Amino acid sequence: MIRARPRTNTDGLGMTSPRARERLIESLRNNGIRNERVLDAMRQVPRHLFIDEALASRAYEDTALPIGRGQTISQPWVVARMTEAVLEGHTCRKVLEIGTGSGYQAAVLAQLVDDVYSVERIDELQRAARRRFRQLAYRNIHCRHADGQLGWEENAPYDAVIVTAAGSAFDQQLLRQLTPDGVLVAPVGEPGSQQLMRWRGGEAGWKPEVLCQVAFVPLLSGTL
Ligand code: SAH
């Protein structure tokens, strides 16, 4: 399912070329990303259009990059791992993301599920992300400027909630907005010692699982 219609980039450097993207996909595969649908979605999404032009030549390096206002676009490997974790083991059609940032993670998800709802607390970032979604013709990403810690009740239930900023605890509201066999994927912990966690719903309640070590910007309260 291909929904994005990326603009072609003709910067002449070759750093944003299909070959650069293919090298990134190979590196993700070599580092344990197995879901071919996820790899294919990441091949489709033009990451260089989600960052400042001055950084575009680094877009297909497997690294987080600054997007302004002290925030970052996540490292591609982390985006791939989180997307795999969201999709695994259940039917996943509707996802809530907390922390739109550049919009890149939302765009990758939008290639794979029916609808993505994404909340961002910094207005300037969510406006820039909205513009990108429009330019790239993503019609299945729905944005909101708000503190996302309490989720987005109006569109619940979601098959998955993905949090892309690290918190020390999560409000029970988030779990209540999930379907009974839904999943919550989120980085948990203090700067310097965060773990990517997944909670899966089931008859016995919400089961936690540690996926890997990560480094995310903090989940903060209020809006800017
Ligand atoms: N998913 C993003 C990652 C952005 S970094 C991407 O692909 O680029 C995390 C983002 O979470 C930042 O933009 C930050 O402003 C936002 N954030 C932090 N706390 C938040 C909150 N309580 N509600 C909504 N967004 C939040």
What tens-digit pLDDT sequence spans the chain (224 residues)?
A: 555 545 444 444 567 788 999 999 999 999 999 999 999 999 999 999 999 999 999 999 999 999 999 999 999 999 999 999 999 999 999 999 999 999 999 999 999 999 999 999 999 999 999 999 999 999 999 999 999 999 999 999 999 999 999 999 888 889 999 999 999 999 999 988 999 999 999 888 999 999 999 999 999 999 99
Residue 108 in domain? yes
Q: Residue 12's pLDDT is what?
A: 45
Give the mutation target among 72, 79, 100 for probing the ligand 1 site: most ligand atoms within 8 A of CB: 100
Q: How many domains does the chain have?
A: 1
Residue 224 in domain? no
Parent domain of 183: 64-214
Is 215 near ligand 1, meaning CB less than 6 Å away? no
Tokens 């990108």: give the residue: 132
Contact call for residues 43 and 76 (beta carbons, < 8 A):
no
Is 170 near ligand 1, meaning CB less than 6 Å away? no
What tokens were used for 195?
């773990």
Is 219 near ligand 1, meaning CB less than 6 Å away? yes
CATH of the domain at 129: 3.40.50.150
Rounded-to-10 torsion of CA 42, 43, 49, 50: 10
Q: Residue 23's pLDDT is what?
A: 96
Residue 52 in domain? no
Residue 15 in domain? no
Q: Residue 191's pLDDT is what?
A: 83
Q: Residue 1's pLDDT is what?
A: 53
Burial grade of 90 (CB within 10 A; 0-12, 13-18, 19 or more)? middle
- Phi and psi dihedrals of 132, rounded to 5? -65, -45
Render 139-208 in DSSP notation, one character per residue. Answer: -SEEEEES-GGG--GGG--EEEEEE-SBBS---HHHHHTEEEEEEEEEEEEETTEEEEEEEE--TT-PEE
Q: Residue 9's pLDDT is what?
A: 45
Burial grade of 158 (CB within 10 A; 0-12, 13-18, 19 or more)? buried
Contact call for residues 159 and 92 (beta carbons, < 8 A):
yes
Distance between CA atoms of residues 66 and 51, nearest Å: 8
The pTM assigned to this predicted structure is 0.94
Number of the ligand 1 atom closest to the C-alpha atom of 73: 8
CA–centroid distance, residue 218 to ligand 1 (Å): 8
Residue 27 in domain? no
Residue 164 in domain? yes
17 is catalytic: no
**Which amino acid, one-letter code, is at 169?**
A
Give the mutation target among 65, 105, 121 for probing the ligand 1 site: most ligand atoms within 8 A of CB: 121
Q: Residue 13's pLDDT is what?
A: 52
Residue 118 in domain? yes
Is 126 near ligand 1, meaning CB less than 6 Å away? no
Residue tagged active-site, from 27, 74, 118, 221: 74
Residue 135 in domain? yes
Contact call for residues 130 and 117 (beta carbons, < 8 A):
no
Q: Residue 82's pLDDT is what?
A: 98
In the sheet that holds 115-120, the strands lie side by side as 141-145, 115-120, 94-98, 158-163, 178-190, 193-200, 207-214
CA–centroid distance, residue 162 to ligand 1 (Å): 11
Is 65 near ligand 1, meaning CB less than 6 Å away? no
